[in-house]
Structure 1
């Protein structure tokens, strides 16, 4: 087993203060093109695999039967901020299938969006499941469950939807899942290798609208994410800002515990990485470095500098240090 590779460093006062190490794979049309750490490291992809979990939404015909738009498909792949537009989209979607907030199984948490959080506080309202960052994914799950008449407990491991997701996961990663855990939103999360996750992202990147049913579904989902980055995450978030910075040509998705993936359709490449300490700072900087290496992100763009190479400042505006790529990453 290969040890995690140092990827990101934090420097302060001319001294190395912290290092983030991890595993990463770039998968191209011919297979693995480059890797750091252990490509065979088994991880939970967490929310980085939401486009895989959304495949049944398109492949069963449920999306078209309901007339879902690219915005809906992007939202089905989202880990959103709970902004007002996110909450409204989730509520309207449920109403369109004759359901409501109590039919969700994701649980309620305070929205990450400050404006919506303050609105709730001022109006003495409690957050609901529509605010859950995974409510878009769960709207998609419910849509498939209703379309298949498969029952309301769609997050159970033996539910037909979850069996479909497991099968799709194994097909696009090219490997048997190593097991599963329960994600923060209560849905099963299937463990795969970093290489398998990168291979899946390459399949999304290579998919074209004139391909077979799986390819068409992949192309629609990846294109929807890149076109609607504000629905995939939200204002101030890395996924949204970096997708905008790349001219909506690349689809990005983060996952909890410092997982990040990228879908590069023009290059037919997929990227997957995992920072072993679970730190978001490390995963955002590492994916930024790999996107710069791929030539799809300007290293001088404010969205890039915010996460890698730019000056870090404290609350008084004083320069405190910088986050930079570790030596040898990327090559």
Structure 2
């Protein structure tokens, strides 16, 4: 495995007036159950998957039996990086209440919602934002449910806590790699590093799972819950939500610093990519390019063109350029 910048190649480019203005370099890997079938850049580059691996972090919740009986809506919420809309905060609060817990039991921290209607409501009402608005509050509700089952202490985000030990074990098993280290995520939970190949391998295992044991049953439930409730995974205007709505059973998930993954059950494929400059516009364009190449997303669909290939216009409607895939990518 190697440093994130080593071997990166151009994946996405911005053209203006017929001239290349900006270029986004990165790595991308497509895996099936047997291994890598196609890659760009350096498949061994080590990355933090950030929120793209939330379905892996949710595996112990189901494998342990702690999440038995959870419906698809809450399973999708456990994998979410949501916008903190009223829909999301109400769902997390309800889930916590059903466990006899409250917002104060969360350890994700509070930030303003990115959902504009909810942010405007808070401003107009004078209400304060809270941990329910944190984009990871659904994942943390899942952590708390697992913690009740395991009987751990209140500080469930500590790396040596039973919750995080269970997650690390699952993470290393499904990526097929010993994690070389971890960092503190935005929500205070540890985020375990792996290679881009390891992350794609994990997604391929989700894609090819056949419900033969506890882990594969958990994988099937999670990969089905996300596209069944894309509104819970992200929110209106967001790439994960809008793109899952226009595909058939494909689960996708973004992560901070321009990571993106995809699970394609119909093809038994897993995808992982990382843009090394951390630019979201490029990771969204790159995942659209790969999903289009694999035949699960119509590149001419408005939700695809919104991220890749449509003419770019300024505030007066004048077309000035295009965001496009780099030569040699997809």
Quick check: TM above 0.5?
A: yes
1:13 equivalent in structure 2:
17
Q: Provide the secondary structure at the position in 1 that maps to 2:170.
A: helix
Q: How does 1:152-301 map to 2 (within 5 A)?
A: 152-209=154-211, 211-247=212-248, 249-301=249-301
Q: Provide the secondary structure at the position in 2 that maps to 1:63.
A: coil
In the alignment, the residues of structure 2 paired with residue 86 and residue 313 of structure 1 have an alpha-carbon distance, to the nearest angstrom, of 33
In the alignment, the residues of structure 2 paired with residue 29 and residue 74 of structure 1 have an alpha-carbon distance, to the nearest angstrom, of 24
Q: Is the 8 A contact 2:177 2:198 kept in 1?
A: yes
2:55 equivalent in structure 1:
51
Structure 1 residue 14, shift from structure 2 partner: 1.1
Deviations 1:238-291 (A, max 9, x none): 0011111113x1000000000000000000000000000000011000000000
Structure 1 residue 316, shift from structure 2 partner: 2.0
In the alignment, the residues of structure 2 paired with residue 218 and residue 4 of structure 1 have an alpha-carbon distance, to the nearest angstrom, of 30
Structure 1 residue 36, shift from structure 2 partner: 0.7
In the alignment, the residues of structure 2 paired with residue 39 and residue 166 of structure 1 have an alpha-carbon distance, to the nearest angstrom, of 21
Q: Can you give the 5+ residue segments of structure 1 that lack an aligned partner in the other structure?
A: none
Q: 2:38 aligned with 1:37, yes or no?
A: no
Deviations 1:46-89 (A, max 9, x none): 0000000000110111111xx31111000000000111100000
1:78 equivalent in structure 2:
80
In the alignment, the residues of structure 2 paired with residue 241 and residue 273 of structure 1 have an alpha-carbon distance, to the nearest angstrom, of 19
Q: 2:29 aligned with 1:25, yes or no?
A: yes
Q: Provide the secondary structure at the position in 2 that maps to 1:201.
A: helix
In the alignment, the residues of structure 2 paired with residue 68 and residue 293 of structure 1 have an alpha-carbon distance, to the nearest angstrom, of 34
Q: 2:329 aligned with 1:329, yes or no?
A: yes
Q: Normalising by structure 1, report the TM-score.
A: 0.97
Q: Provide the secondary structure at the position in 1 that maps to 2:272.
A: strand
Structure 1 residue 151, shift from structure 2 partner: 1.6
Which shows bigger deviation, 28-37 or 41-50? Answer: 28-37
Structure 1 residue 16, shift from structure 2 partner: 0.8
Q: Normalising by structure 2, report the TM-score.
A: 0.97
In the alignment, the residues of structure 1 paired with residue 314 and residue 122 of structure 2 have an alpha-carbon distance, to the nearest angstrom, of 29
In the alignment, the residues of structure 2 paired with residue 186 and residue 3 of structure 1 have an alpha-carbon distance, to the nearest angstrom, of 30
2:120 equivalent in structure 1:
118
Q: Provide the secondary structure at the position in 1 that maps to 2:67.
A: helix
In the alignment, the residues of structure 2 paired with residue 314 and residue 299 of structure 1 have an alpha-carbon distance, to the nearest angstrom, of 23
1:100 equivalent in structure 2:
102
Structure 1 residue 150, shift from structure 2 partner: 1.2
Structure 1 residue 110, shift from structure 2 partner: 0.3
Q: Can you give the 5+ residue segments of structure 2 that lack an aligned partner in the other structure?
A: none
In the alignment, the residues of structure 1 paired with residue 316 and residue 252 of structure 2 have an alpha-carbon distance, to the nearest angstrom, of 32
Q: 2:137 aligned with 1:135, yes or no?
A: yes
In the alignment, the residues of structure 2 paired with residue 216 and residue 80 of structure 1 have an alpha-carbon distance, to the nearest angstrom, of 25
